[in-house]
Structure 1
């Protein structure tokens, strides 16, 4: 996929680790959807702390069994593919923040299969 280099779009989705879609963690569902739609890839980041949609501090504490932490999913691909993904995403995200920005991919490499 060296052809990914050039002007592309970065889609960043801010959700909670507690968010679910059809019974599974939302971030896992999003990764499966990225694969099904043939996007270049995605990365999921779990934050240590954040302030969510209701101005509520979400942070890690050792005393809680369940940790409601911020999750960020980043996806980079061509504009057309991201725009198509956004149409599906609108049906899935109940609460969270979705941002889109222009980026320039300098290099996208992977090892060749032997």
Structure 2
């Protein structure tokens, strides 16, 4: 197997109801990552999960407020990821409820770039 390149993955576990001001935190993190010039970011909505509270959160169609786990994954070179993490750490520290942040080195096996959007 040929290794194309190495990168760093920042993975942030939060809830869909967490906020950064009036904006959903997952949305804020993705936009901040783009504004910081990081290679890529994705917010992944979970269907079931629990954290340090041990309370199970899941999607139920009858719930008025959907509180489900969200994982934000951000990929770039280690120095850029660490710099970005340091810039968002104060936001995470102010959160009322918990979160978990992981950072790991990854091997990028395949990467095909698309055309940049003008939007």
- The answer to whether 1:17 aligns with 2:4 is no
- Whole-Å Cα distance in 1 between the matches of residues 18 and 66 of structure 2? 12
Aligned-residue offset at 1:112 = 4.1
Q: CA RMSD in A?
A: 1.3
Pairs within 5 Å for 1:1-114: 5-93=4-92, 94=95, 95-112=98-115
The superposition leaves residues 46-89 of structure 1 with CA deviations (integer Å, 9 ceiling, x where unpaired) of 00000123111101112211110000011111000001011012
Aligned-residue offset at 1:21 = 0.4
Q: How many residues align?
A: 109
TM-score, normalization by structure 2 = 0.85
- Moved segments of 4+, more than 4 Å: none
Contact 1:52 1:58 in 2 (8 A): no
* SS of match in other structure, 2:31: helix
TM-score, normalization by structure 1 = 0.89
- Whole-Å Cα distance in 1 between the matches of residues 84 and 115 of structure 2? 27
Aligned-residue offset at 1:22 = 1.4
- Whole-Å Cα distance in 2 between the matches of residues 61 and 21 of structure 1? 25
Q: Provide structure 2 residue ranges, at least 5 long, that are not aligned to the other structure.
A: none
